[in-house]
């Protein structure tokens, strides 16, 4: 029983650490003028991605080497950098429409970019034989909760900084993408 509790505690710590990227992305996306219904769906979508990406990673972890996890992190970093640059540039050019927004395909890109590191962690947890159900429940819950928190904080902060909110949000996404690429 103690071993199960210790494993659950460890998974929750790992889930919240991984969910911090969802928080950061939520903070950046919250800079858009979002309604609470949109915030709910964005958090739910990112939570779902944080369920199935580590599950795929766990399945792949039984068959693949450690090199694939680093590759997934590079893809996530590149996606965040591209999205951050696009968002920051759209803040300076108010006459143009934003290409990627936090709904539709833009939401899928955001959710995918924030959950790629969960895939790589799922890959290593699959190699070590972690309990799949516990992993995906912890990861999905933490990601959804932290995304909602980031979106709400970003929404409140957006009203304070006005027109520069997209630039700040893009900068947050860009910086986090650099962090994924250069591991600092």
74 contacts: CB under 8 Å, gap ≥ 6: 180, 181
Weakest-pLDDT range from 90-99, 116-125, 133-142: 90-99
Q: What is the pLDDT of residues 53-100, one digit of tens each?
A: 888 887 876 665 455 556 656 666 676 687 778 767 766 765 444 445
Range of the domain at 75: 2-182
Between the CA of residue 35 and those of 78, 92, 155, what are the distances in Å?
Answer: 28, 23, 9
Tell which residue, 73, 21, 55, 71, has the closest CA to residue 123. Answer: 55
| Mean local confidence (pLDDT), 124-153 | 82
pLDDT value of position 77: 67
Q: What is the pLDDT of residues 148-171, one digit of tens each?
A: 998 898 888 765 655 565 676 677
pLDDT value of position 97: 47
pLDDT value of position 166: 63
Find out whether 29 and 42 touch, Cβ atoms under 8 Å: yes
For the chain, give the mean pLDDT. Answer: 75
Q: Which of 27-36, 83-92, 120-129 has the highest mean pLDDT?
A: 27-36
Pick 115 or 51 by higher pLDDT: 51
pLDDT value of position 148: 92
Residue bearing tokens 């580590």 = 54
Spatial distance between the Cα atoms of 141 and 76, rounded to a whole number of angstroms: 20
* Domain count along the chain: 1
Tell which residue, 20, 168, 173, has the closest CA to residue 83. Answer: 173
Between the CA of residue 39 and those of 9, 52, 80, 132, 149, what are the distances in Å?
Answer: 28, 20, 19, 28, 10
What does pTM read for this prediction?
0.68
């Amino acid at each position: 029983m103690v071993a199960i509790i210790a494993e659950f505690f460890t998974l929750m710590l790992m889930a919240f650490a991984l969910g911090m990227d969802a928080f950061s992305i939520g903070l950046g996306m919250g800079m858009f003028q979002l309604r609470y219904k949109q915030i709910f769906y964005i958090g739910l979508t990112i939570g779902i991605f944080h369920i199935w990406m580590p599950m795929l990673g766990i399945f792949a972890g039984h068959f693949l080497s450690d090199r694939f996890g680093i590759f997934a992190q590079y893809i996530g970093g590149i996606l965040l950098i591209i999205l951050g640059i696009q968002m920051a540039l759209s803040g300076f050019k108010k006459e143009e429409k934003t290409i990627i927004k936090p709904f539709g395909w833009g939401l899928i890109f955001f959710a995918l970019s924030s959950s790629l590191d969960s895939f790589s962690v799922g890959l290593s947890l699959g190699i070590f034989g972690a309990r799949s159900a516990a992993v995906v429940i912890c990861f999905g819950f933490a990601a959804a909760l932290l995304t909602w928190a980031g979106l709400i904080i970003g929404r409140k902060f957006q009203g304070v900084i006005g027109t520069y909110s997209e630039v700040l949000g893009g900068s947050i996404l860009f910086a986090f993408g650099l962090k994924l690429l250069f591991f600092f």
